[in-house]
């Protein structure tokens, strides 16, 4: 029997993006050989973490042998301790992931909310994208993460898309590629692996893949010149992993599989022609492919789950993200192997890439040294002064004056003493990154000498509802709207819905009282308030943005941001 040299068999692991040496490759091979089938199948899963109790985690690791895990954000101290316990319990080091899209707050609630990607893009300064990556990476690493589900390289081509929006670097493919590469450089220098998402590209459809399989309708030529260019740039720059979305790319599926019937076109997570033919073949990606979250409707409605679970790996994904029920999904994966949907050879190939990603991060060495998770003292980096200074610089460079056709700015308390403030979509709690911006705006305006009356969104004032124009003008000199209507998973639109009855909080007075509109979450509100003559986009709802906006409307600082998208939504009246 001829013995195959390990280095020959796994030679591709020496190439980009893993760049493993012989010793690393030996660890990958020996670890793979030491695993039984159940342990290999466990490596394919990156479930969502729920418990932080040692007994629960011991049972979970023993039963499923996961290759990775992801927890929702918690305080830095709590999440670090959970990650440390997990790594101590797992014989093979875990990939510990987080959505580090906007800063360290993606895993630590007391981490720095640096800013959304579109805010960074509005600076037109790639150094800011690099700093975002550094903040996210440093703080994520301190909390015990080693895998960032970022950057997002979707292109916000459709302003109606309810999920891409400010999470993207905008609508220009070149800016997206340049910013994403700078972000990834910061992530990689922090010791984490980046996972670029969401292949083959979101932002064309006006629907959310959390709710259905969305469609990228571009022709093959259009895709090559936009999303294809971006992915090629990221691959050439060494991205270690790519997240496949529940997004169909029909024109490429038809091109790669001539004669395919429409009902057989699948989202990328279940489309071997896109994963193997396009991503690995044409674009030459050698790294790890992970599915997007598998409980999303874009995945669950595309195929019976019993078949979809093993098909995702058989189609070319190496890792399976989250579960509806981990026990059932694990059984489905095993059954898929038994029935021939998923081959043992393909399992070995996927697990090899998972182990190679771990080796490329040095997790096997860190496991031996006991340094997989930093000490508690490293949590001092969360919201450290340097990171706050960078975030403040980003806010200053990004706030964008979209229009001021009434020549309102700058404002002063001498001219506009009495201010009515409306804040939209700012309820405390929920999934907001930084909570409410109401009080910071109220306090900042009062400190500048304004008398501020805050509109109560929770109760309709019927006396005011029928107030005369002159009465309203006698009470207020200026009206300011602040909209904090964030994008969120599983919502179909990001639009302004005025208070009922009779649109009680809508700007009916805009022709009679100077009105200013500030959006801190969505750059496309002019479609709903074209009548407002002074409009500002700020992209993120953190403290640094509030500070920068107030300085700029008071004339203490100039507006420097450049819109990364068309804030006028292609409508002529929004420019007036």
Q: CATH number for the 16-375 domain, one of 3.40.630.30, 3.30.2010.10, 3.30.70.260, 3.20.20.300?
A: 3.20.20.300
pTM listed for this prediction: 0.96
Each residue of 184-205: pLDDT tens digit?
A: 999 999 999 999 999 999 999 9
Each residue of 384-401: pLDDT tens digit?
A: 999 999 999 999 999 999
Strand intervals (E) in 389-514: 400-404, 418-424, 451-454, 478-483
Does 16-375 match 399-575 in CATH topology?
Answer: no
Q: Which two tokens stand for residue 148?
A: 């960032």
* 76 touches 143 (CB < 8 A): yes
* 395 touches 545 (CB < 8 A): yes
Q: How confident is the model at residue 458 (pLDDT cuts 50, 70, 90)?
A: confident
Confidence (pLDDT) at 187: 98
* 187 touches 241 (CB < 8 A): no
Each residue of 356-369: pLDDT tens digit?
A: 999 999 999 999 99
Confidence (pLDDT) at 1: 33
CATH class of residue range 399-575: alpha beta
Triad 197, 61, 316: Cα angle to 5°: 35
**In which element (H, E) is residue 440 found?**
helix 438-447
Whole-angstrom CA distances from 265 to 268, 275, 318, 321, 563 are 9, 13, 21, 22, 36
Confidence (pLDDT) at 427: 66
* 205 touches 215 (CB < 8 A): yes
* Average pLDDT of span 151-179: 98
End-to-end C-alpha distance for the chain, whole angstroms: 79
Domain ranges of the chain: 16-375, 399-575
Catalytic (active site) residue 396: no
* 10 touches 28 (CB < 8 A): yes
Each residue of 55-68: pLDDT tens digit?
A: 999 999 999 999 99
* Average pLDDT of span 508-525: 97
* Average pLDDT of span 13-40: 98
Q: Concatenated DSSP letters for 357-378? A: HHHHTTHHHHHHHT-SS--GGG
φ/ψ region of 523 (left if φ > 0, alpha if ψ in -120 to 50, else beta) reads alpha
Q: Report the chain's C-alpha Rg in angstroms.
A: 25
Confidence (pLDDT) at 432: 53
Say what percent of the chain tops pLDDT 70: 97
Confidence (pLDDT) at 447: 97
Confidence (pLDDT) at 8: 58
Strand intervals (E) in 80-168: 95-98, 147-148
Confidence (pLDDT) at 463: 85
Confidence (pLDDT) at 297: 97
* Average pLDDT of span 126-155: 98
Q: In the predicted model, what is the mean pLDDT of the chain?
A: 96
| pLDDT over 80 (residue 430) | no
Confidence (pLDDT) at 4: 38
* 302 touches 244 (CB < 8 A): no
Q: How confident is the model at residue 5 (pLDDT cuts 50, 70, 90)?
A: very low
H helices, E strands: number in the chain: 22, 16
Handedness of CA 295, 299, 305, 311 (dihedral sign): negative
* Average pLDDT of span 439-462: 94
Beta-strand relationship, 193-199 and 534-537? unpaired
Each residue of 542-571: pLDDT tens digit?
A: 999 999 999 999 999 999 999 999 999 999
User: Could you say which of 292, 318, 396, 528 is catalytic?
Assistant: 292
| pLDDT over 90 (residue 462) | no
């Amino acid at each position: 029997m001829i013995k195959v040299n390990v280095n020959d068999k796994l030679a591709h692991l020496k190439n980009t993006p893993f760049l493993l040496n012989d010793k690393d490759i030996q660890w990958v091979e020996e670890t793979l050989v030491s695993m039984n089938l159940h342990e290999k199948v466990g490596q394919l899963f990156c479930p969502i973490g729920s418990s932080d109790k040692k007994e629960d985690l011991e049972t979970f690791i023993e039963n499923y042998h996961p290759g990775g895990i992801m927890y929702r954000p918690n305080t830095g101290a709590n999440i670090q301790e959970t990650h440390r316990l997990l790594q101590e319990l797992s014989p093979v080091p875990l990939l510990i992931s987080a959505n580090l899209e906007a800063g360290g707050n993606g895993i630590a609630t007391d981490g720095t909310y640096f800013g959304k990607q579109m805010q960074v893009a509005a600076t037109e300064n790639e150094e800011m994208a690099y700093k975002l990556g550094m903040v996210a990476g440093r703080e994520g690493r301190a909390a015990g993460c080693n895998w960032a589900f970022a950057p997002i390289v979707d292109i916000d081509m459709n302003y109606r898309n309810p999920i891409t929006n400010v999470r993207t670097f905008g609508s220009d493919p070149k800016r997206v590629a340049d910013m994403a590469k700078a972000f990834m450089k910061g992530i990689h220098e922090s010791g984490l692996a980046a996972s670029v998402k969401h292949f083959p590209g979101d932002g064309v459809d006006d629907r959310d893949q959390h709710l259905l399989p969305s469609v990228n309708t571009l022709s093959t030529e259009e895709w090559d010149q936009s999303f294809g260019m971006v992915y090629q740039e990221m691959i050439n720059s060494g991205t270690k992993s790519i997240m496949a979305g529940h997004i169909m790319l029909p024109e490429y599926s038809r091109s790669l599989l001539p004669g395919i019937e429409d009902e057989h076109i699948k989202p990328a997570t279940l489309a071997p022609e896109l994963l193997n033919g396009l991503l690995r073949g044409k674009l030459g990606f050698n790294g790890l492919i992970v599915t997007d979250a598998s409980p999303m409707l874009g995945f669950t409605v595309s195929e019976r789950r019993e078949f979809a679970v093993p098909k995702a790996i058989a189609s070319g994904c190496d890792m399976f993200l989250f579960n509806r029920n981990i026990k059932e999904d694990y059984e489905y994966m095993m059954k898929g192997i038994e029935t021939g949907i998923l081959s043992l050879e393909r399992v070995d190939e996927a697990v090899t890439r998972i182990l190679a990603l771990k080796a490329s991060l040095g997790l096997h060495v860190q496991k031996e040294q006991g340094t997989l998770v930093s000490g508690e003292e490293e949590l001092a980096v969360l919201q450290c002064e340097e990171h706050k200074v960078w975030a403040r610089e980003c806010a200053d460079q990004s706030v964008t004056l979209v229009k001021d056709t009434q020549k309102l700015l700058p404002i002063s308390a001498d001219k506009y003493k009495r201010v009515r403030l409306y804040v939209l979509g700012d309820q405390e709690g929920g999934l907001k990154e930084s909570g409410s911006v109401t009080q910071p705006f109220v306090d900042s305006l009062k400190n500048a000498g304004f008398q501020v009356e805050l509109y109560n969104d929770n109760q309709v004032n019927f006396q005011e509802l029928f107030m005369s124009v002159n009465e309203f003008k006698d009470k207020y000199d200026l009206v300011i709207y602040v909209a904090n209507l964030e994008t969120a998973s599983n919502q179909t639109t990001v639009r302004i819905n005025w208070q009922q009855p009779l649109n009680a909080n809508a700007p009916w007075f805009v022709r009679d009282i100077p009105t200013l509109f500030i959006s801190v979450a969505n750059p496309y509100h002019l479609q709903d308030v074209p009548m407002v003559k002074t409009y500002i986009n700020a992209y993120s709802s953190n403290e640094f943005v509030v500070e920068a906006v107030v300085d700029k409307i008071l004339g203490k600082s100039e507006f420097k941001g450049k819109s990364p998208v068309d804030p006028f939504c292609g409508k002529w009246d929004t420019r007036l």
